[in-house]
Amino acid sequence: MGLNTIRIKKSNGQVVAIKVLDLDTDEDEISDVRKEIALLSTCDSSSITRYHGSILNGSKLWIIMDYAGGGSIRELLKSGPIDERYIAIVAREVLLALVYLHKSVGIIHRDIKAANILLTDSGQVKLCDFGVAGQITTTSARRNSFVGTPYWIAPEIIKRAQYDFKADIWSLGITIIEMATGNPPFADQEPRRALFLIPRTRPPKLEGHFSTSIQEFIAGCLREEPEDRPSSEQLLNFKFIKDAKKGTDSLRELLQRQKQWKIQNNDPDEVSFEAKWVFLS
């Protein structure tokens, strides 16, 4: 891979992340990063990882971004499924990011999943990874390019039909199931098999002892016809979201759980970054 991430500390004490892109790497990867930079440059939301600028260092491009010390929600799932009360908070914050993307800048994220939802050390939620995001213009209200990650991808995209912001709503519903159970539906299938099954089976449901409110929320996100799915704004009014605890401070409890799990399991991913401090002015 030509892309790696380290964290650095600026001279003012602010910690940021740097994506290091080898410019000698695959052209498709460079294209994705350029697209991500272009889109993030237009965004100004606390719910989205902020782009701070780029530095050319020899054949390496340093892309300076917000640093989220808590890691991704996917990483937090290593220590087990996430309780509903935390899922509701994460879902609300992702919806706020989607309202901004869909309404303010006309962007479809196209890759909503737990791995692309980050937590800061204080528990703030940030949506990241815009390498496959697409922009909707006033002259083209729908897209038809095939992008996304198989298990989370909306059926209309798999069918090569035109799609819009509602594709993100489907992916969010799958992500809620992922957080509640540890994996998305069809995770036991090969990606190609999952792509075959998603548009040919009934929308998945959350099985087990879960509240009616989370099941209703998921059912709304996973309506088969895109036009029947609520918008990101409408989903904010669902009971599951309205009953969520205010703020995000309680998500630090998830970070503490993860820290304890890593200690108990000698997780090899728990490494020290002290040797990777770099100081920028």
CA of residue 45 relative to chain centroid, distance: 15
Instruction: Check residue 6 and give its pLDDT.
Output: 57
- Is the separation of the CB atoms in 275 and 6 below 8 Å? no
User: Active-site residue 269, yes or no?
Assistant: no
Residue 138 pLDDT > 60, yes or no?
A: no
Instruction: List the catalytic residue out of 32, 111, 164, 168.
Output: 111
Phi, psi of 142 (to 5 degrees): -140, 160
Per-residue HEC secondary structure of the chain comes to CCEEEEEEEECCCCEEEEEEEECCCCHHHHHHHHHHHHHHCCCCCCCECCEEEEEEECCEEEEEEECCCCEEHHHHHHHCCCCHHHHHHHHHHHHHHHHHHHHHCCEECCCCCHHHEEECCCCCEEECCCCCCEECECCECCECCCCCCHHHCCHHHHCCCCECCHHHHHHHHHHHHHHHHCCCCCCCCCHHHHHHHHHHCCCCCCCCCCCHHHHHHHHHHCCCCHHHCCCHHHHCCCHHHHCCCCCCHHHHHHHHHHHHHHHHHCCCCCCCCHHHCCEEC
Domains detected in the chain: 3-67 (3.30.200.20), 71-256 (1.10.510.10)
Greater model confidence, 280 or 78: 78
pLDDT tens-place string over residues 207-261: 899 999 999 999 999 999 999 999 999 999 999 999 999 999 999 999 999 999 9
pTM of the full structure:
0.85
* Burial class, 281, CB count within 10 angstroms (exposed 0-12 / middle 13-18 / buried 19+): exposed
Residue 136 pLDDT > 50, yes or no?
A: no
Instruction: Check residue 115 and give its pLDDT.
Output: 94
- Is the separation of the CB atoms in 2 and 26 below 8 Å? yes
Q: 203 vs 74, 152, 172, 221, 224, CA distance in Å?
A: 22, 12, 13, 10, 6
Phi, psi of 17 (to 5 degrees): -105, 150
141-150, 184-193, 247-256: least confidently modelled range: 141-150
